[in-house]
Amino acid sequence: MAEYKRKPEWLRIRMNTGTQYQDVRKTLDKSKLTTVCTEANCPNQHECWGSYKTATFMVLGEICTRGCRFCSVQTGKPGPVDKNEPVDVARAVKDLQLKHAVITMVTRDDLEDGGAQILAETVTAIREVNPDCTIEVLSSDLIGKDENIKILADSQPEVISHNIETVRRLKKEICSGETYERSIDVLKMMKAESPHSVVKSSIMIGLGETREEILETMDDLLDCGVSILNIGQYLQPTKKNYPVEYYWTPEEFDELKTRALEKGFIFCESGPLVRSSYHAGKHYADYKKIISQEES
């Protein structure tokens, strides 16, 4: 059983459970929807719900068909697909008056399309009730099939995303049923099938990777057409999960952000508490400002 490493001072979290936090929680409890905020024990839950009034919806149930060693989401045999889920998510997005909605999923290897159709229908449903809301979709590898990725891409989310998670050397050890090469291929297909969407990916560090391996991963992601990169510290969610090997300092995260931008990413958020959907709406707005300035 893995032992916890003592967290450094910069990972202390200030809790915000004020009015906005309570509003988001009540809406989510009422809708009975699942969020990755709670299922993955995200350390930013109170900040996102309390300060930014945002949440990341997790569709296709609460049970994942894979058992990645970094993740706290339950693994097992999922239940049937809820055909009403896209409409339910769209209704919650409208009730919360979100300007930017993030939709993610559990991996569903039991479905022929990997869950792509429900993702696409969720994007469409949100657009119907909240046309001014921008939409970000963080998907699994959708079994690595181009036809599945095309289903999602045809819904044309503003941001289409798949996480590389870790460096090439550690991918097989950390991720269940997914290879580094497949993730790279998925990101390439996303760029090809959804050229008008911004392609995004995230990497967690602190699993034993080297700085050189992180930089090599950046190069691979750039070659796929990834424009937005998030880099965050891996935090061991339970004693059963993979242990933290190293806590990168805030200064080291700043240096990695500098290198990412120098290499060619349009936008990079890098910090100990950064996660896939961390400040996602603000980041997309900042990305658009950068592109606008470059084009003018």
Q: Is 138 part of a structural domain of the chain?
A: yes
Q: Is 1 part of a structural domain of the chain?
A: no
Q: Higher-confidence residue: 1 or 171?
A: 171
Q: Is 55 part of a structural domain of the chain?
A: yes
Burial 241-278 (b: 16+ CB within 10 A, else e): bbbbeebbeeebbeebbebbeeeebbbbbbbbbbbbbb
pLDDT tens for 96-137 read: 888 888 999 999 999 999 999 999 999 999 999 999 999 999
Determine what percent of the chain is predicted with pLDDT higher than 90.
Answer: 67
Task: Using the predicted structure, report yes or no on whether residue 76 has a pLDDT greater than 60.
Answer: yes
Q: Is 3 part of a structural domain of the chain?
A: no
Q: Is 81 part of a structural domain of the chain?
A: yes
Distance of alpha carbon 65 from alpha carbon 99, whole angstroms: 31
Domain span at 68:
9-295
DSSP state letter for 142: G
Specify the pTM. 0.87
Q: Between the CA of residue 82 and those of 33, 106, 160, 241, 278, what are the distances in Å? A: 11, 13, 22, 29, 27
Q: Is 2 part of a structural domain of the chain?
A: no
Spatial CA neighbour of 237 closest among 98, 74, 62, 81: 74
Distance of alpha carbon 282 from alpha carbon 206, whole angstroms: 26
Distance of alpha carbon 194 from alpha carbon 89, whole angstroms: 23
Q: Provide the domain count of the chain.
A: 1
What pLDDT is attached to residue 5?
67
Spatial CA neighbour of 81 closest among 62, 103, 55: 62
Beta bridge partners of 163: none
**Cβ atoms of residues 213 and 168 within 8 Å:** yes
List the CATH number of the domain containing 287. Answer: 3.20.20.70
Confidence class of residue 31 from pLDDT cuts 50, 70 and 90? low
